[in-house]
């Protein structure tokens, strides 16, 4: 995990430094970050996988949810601060399939929603490069029902909830195609500092090891209708990874929180008011 985090940090800062070098060579007559409040509605796809190398068991499922995003940013001459949130409104379900050595073992209906709220503060360096840091609160909920084990129905159900606080490190910037058309980007990396993972099928079990990371990239364009009002479209994607835990004694046996990944992709239509 430590080696993987070092590689990810290296890639993050390499990309950020390259953007900074390029931006420093350009004429900086853009307004840069502006105080604004935005709200948007969109779609988010969550592609979820679990891996258990000790038993050779894997699972996968993919859901599409309707989401709402809210962001507020206040900029002063030498500092900016803001908050943003993504909230699932409508959640789709999918069939999750569990396999071992290519053989199907288990299927169930899988519903998955992810809510997160970020708060940050940063320095408006140039219009193209503005570093910031902060905290993220995140909550994922997974519901498993309608289970079939080796083709036979089972009454088992489970709800897994993972709540976490993470450090946020990011850069963002923007520029103009024309006086009315603007582009912008965000690149963010999250390191969890406090995690609670519970599962209704394992009451009382709390895994001891909960390391991971999230990497997020966003790009968008917006059209200014007036000095204060604009409409935009945003596309984003990334990965949320959890290393999982070791096997731990529980209820007379051994259990663990498996390694898992969520690759996500989304799009949002929003309206912004600058002030």
Q: What's residue 101's pLDDT?
A: 81
* Confidence at 4, pLDDT banded by 50, 70, 90: low
Instruction: Give the E-state strand segments of 101-242 in sequence order.
Output: 103-122, 130-149, 152-154, 158-176, 181-199, 212-224, 229-242
Buried b (16+ CB within 10 A) or exposed e, 204-242: ebebeebbbbbbbebebebebeeeeebebebebbbebbb
- Domain coordinates of the chain in residue numbers? 2-274
- pLDDT reported for residue 252: 85
Q: Tens of pLDDT along 193-221?
A: 999 999 999 999 988 888 999 999 999 99
What's domain 2-274's superfamily in CATH?
OPCA outer membrane adhesin/invasin (2.40.128.100)
pLDDT for 20 equals: 46
Give the pLDDT mean for 74-84. Answer: 96
The rounded Cα 215 to chain-centroid distance in angstroms is: 7
- What rounded mean pLDDT belongs to the chain? 90
Q: Are 264 and 239 in contact, with CB atoms under 8 Å apart? A: yes
Residue 55, judged by CB atoms within 10 A of its CB (0-12, 13-18, 19+), counts as exposed
pLDDT score of 22 more than 50: no
By DSSP bridging, strand 36-52 and strand 57-75 are antiparallel
User: How high is the pLDDT of residue 181?
Assistant: 96
């Amino acid at each position: 995990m430590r080696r993987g985090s070092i590689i990810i940090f290296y890639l993050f800062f390499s990309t950020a430094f390259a953007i900074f070098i390029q931006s420093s060579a350009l004429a900086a007559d853009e307004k840069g970050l502006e105080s604004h409040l935005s709200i948007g509605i969109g779609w988010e796809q969550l592609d979820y996988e679990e891996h258990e190398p000790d038993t050779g068991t894997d699972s996968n499922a993919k859901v599409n949810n309707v989401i709402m995003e809210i962001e507020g940013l206040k900029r002063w001459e030498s500092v900016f601060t803001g908050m943003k949130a993504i909230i699932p409104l409508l959640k789709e379900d999918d069939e999750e399939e569990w396999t071992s050595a290519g053989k199907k073992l288990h299927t169930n209906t899988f519903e998955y929603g992810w809510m997160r709220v970020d708060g940050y503060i940063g320095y408006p360096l140039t219009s193209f490069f503005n570093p910031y840091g902060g905290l993220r609160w995140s909550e994922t909920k997974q519901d498993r029902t309608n289970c079939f084990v080796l083709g036979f129905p089972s009454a088992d159900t489970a709800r897994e909830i993972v709540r976490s606080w993470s450090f946020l490190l990011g850069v963002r910037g923007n520029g103009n195609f024309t006086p009315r058309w603007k582009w912008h980007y965000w690149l963010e990396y999250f390191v969890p500092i406090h995690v609670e993972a519970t599962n209704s099928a394992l009451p009382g079990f709390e895994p001891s090891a909960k390391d991971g990371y999230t990497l997020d990239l966003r790009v968008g364009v917006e059209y200014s209708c007036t000095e204060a009002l604009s409409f935009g479209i945003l596309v984003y994607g990334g990965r949320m990874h959890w290393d999982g835990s070791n096997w731990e004694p529980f209820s007379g046996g051994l259990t663990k929180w498996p390694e898992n990944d969520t690759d996500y992709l989304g799009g949002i239509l929003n309206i912004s008011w600058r002030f």
